[in-house]
Amino acid sequence: MVASTEVLDALKSIGLNLYERKIFVALLAKGVATAAELSEIANVPRSRSYDVLESLAEKGFVLVQPSKPLKYVALKPSEAIERVKEKLKRDHETMLERIDRLKNSKIMQELESIYKQGLSFIQPTEISGTLKGRHIINRQVQSLFKSAKKEITVLTTPKGLKDLHENHYRILKKLVKKGIKLKILAPETDPELLKSFSQIADVKKIKKPAGRIYVVDNQHVILSLTDDSVHESQDVAFWANSPHAAKDIIQPYIEYLKK
């Protein structure tokens, strides 16, 4: 039985490459088979079939029979999926433990030291880049917010204001308590959100949307290059460590909007 494209795509979505998908489906149809047999059925190079079957065994899709030659048994699909799920959970927990150990180790101190030394060799204006995807943009925005020492200025749109509240309100509230000044410019389209932000920020209502811009300490700037209508995966922004851009370009624009 030949598997449908939908089945092969579903197996791809849970981490099986093309050869793994083809051999697993072939083994399901055969029940028990050698690597050579599966290579022929699945049209996979024989030299690769052993590695593929070993990978499938590690992932929990097949069992190995210690015979000569080695034979492989397909697990029931529902059981295989459950094994994969459990393995992913264990791997995830193990990785989190490793990350926590690394964060609190001398190795992290050494890496931070190397990073600081590296920064001394480059100009601040060379630290810039394009960010794609709202998740990536929000992650960079959050990182810059956390690095703030004096002030944060946000110019945003109705959708941007909602996003700011959902993803950054708690962090901004903590920063304000530490003494960071927060200024927000946004259209008066959601009174409740503006009221909420008014508790922690100097909020200025502007007449119409004028883009999404984040400025931290008059040094870091994140400028959105797309509007609110694009899908979050296609959202694009430009980030720069540039006091010139922050002070001489963005700030005058913000002052103009205040009028």
Q: Is residue 20 part of a domain?
A: yes
What contacts 59, CB < 8 A, 6 or more positions away? 15, 16, 20, 83, 84, 87
Assess whether pLDDT exceeds 90 at residue 5.
Answer: no
Residue with tokens 């028990």: 32
pLDDT-derived band at 118, boundaries 50, 70, 90? low
CB 19 within 8 A of CB 43: no
Q: Are residues 41 and 137 in the same domain?
A: no
Report the CATH number at residue 70.
Answer: 1.10.10.10
Report the CATH number at residue 148.
Answer: 3.30.870.10
Domain boundary among 66, 85, 104: 85
| Mean of the per-residue pLDDT values of the chain | 87
Distance of CA 152 to the CA centre of its chain: 24
Q: Are residues 163 and 254 in the same domain?
A: yes
Q: Which ranges in 31-133 belong to alpha helices (H)?
A: 35-42, 46-59, 77-103, 106-119
The pair of structure tokens assigned to 95 is 């990785």
Closest CA to 27 of 83, 75, 69: 75
Q: Can you give the pLDDT at residue 20?
A: 92
Q: Could you read off the pLDDT of 129-174 as tens digits, one per residue? A: 888 999 999 999 999 999 999 999 999 999 999 999 999 999 999 9
Domains: count for the chain: 2
Whole-prediction pTM: 0.58
Work out the burial of residue 80: count CB atoms within 10 Å of its CB; fewer than 13 is exposed, 13-18 middle, 19 or more buried. Answer: buried
**Which range marks the domain in which residue 192 is found?**
128-258
Q: Are residues 180 and 250 in the same domain?
A: yes
Q: Is residue 10 part of a domain?
A: yes
